[in-house]
Structure 1
Amino acid sequence: MITENQYFDGNVKSLGYETAEGKSTVGIINPGEYTFGTDQKEIMLVIEGKLEALLPDANEWQSIKAGDKFEVPANSSFKVKTTIQTAYLCQYR
């Protein structure tokens, strides 16, 4: 089954699906700054575009471009910001 997700007044949208390894989503982030919370470990791959991420326990933003990924532990929060529409794949493990 495909699920539709919408966050931050529609500025972040994704489609969710299940794989043998677990849940994943593919989505788009509009320009802006957003804070996300995690229930599970998340592996986020930027497909197209670019963003900056402020990961848990970090003091500096990290630049993430197309083809780069980062991981966020379960039960934490992280921030992302971007100036252009950015496509991503997020795997929940």
Structure 2
Amino acid sequence: MSAQIDQVSVVKKSNIYFDGKCVSHTVILADGSKKTVGVIFPSSLTFNTGAPEIMEIVGGVCKVRLAGASDWNTYGAGQEFNVAGNTSFDIETVETLDYVCHFG
């Protein structure tokens, strides 16, 4: 996992979810694919997905429960988890979580 994403365009307007508990910016790569780079502040949230996602954890620690699962898994910096399209996941953070969401 690289510390930076090179040769991208950045959408200047931020994506703000859950009353400011999650804030991200969309980056568009040279091939047209999109990612979001953001933070989740300490909270318990449920995200719904459209496309499949890979959530790359850059900093912090979170607990995640995928839709239909009963168990929570813990992820920290340098780890990632996959989420199927058209589903959801619960996430809990006790510190600010830095992430990159890779779509598709």
* 1:87 aligned onto 2:98: yes
Structure 1 CA distance for aligned equivalents of residues 89 and 32 of structure 2: 23
| Count of aligned pairs between the two proteins | 93
For residues 32-53 of structure 1, the C-alpha deviation after alignment (integer angstroms, 9 at most, x for no partner) is 1000000100000100001010
% of aligned pairs identical? 34
After TM superposition, give the deviation of residue 56 of structure 1 in Å: 2.2
Structure 1 or 2, whichever has the larger Rg, is 2
**TM-score, normalised via structure 1 length:** 0.94
Which structure exhibits the higher relative contact order, with contacts defined as CA atoms closer than 8 Å and separated by 6 or more residues?
1
Instruction: Spell out structure 1 runs of 4+ moving beyond 3 A.
Output: none
Which has a greater percent of strand?
A: 1
Q: Give unpaired runs (5+ residues) of structure 2.
A: 1-9
Q: Give unpaired runs (5+ residues) of structure 1.
A: none
**TM-score, normalised via structure 2 length:** 0.85
Aligned to 2:64: 53
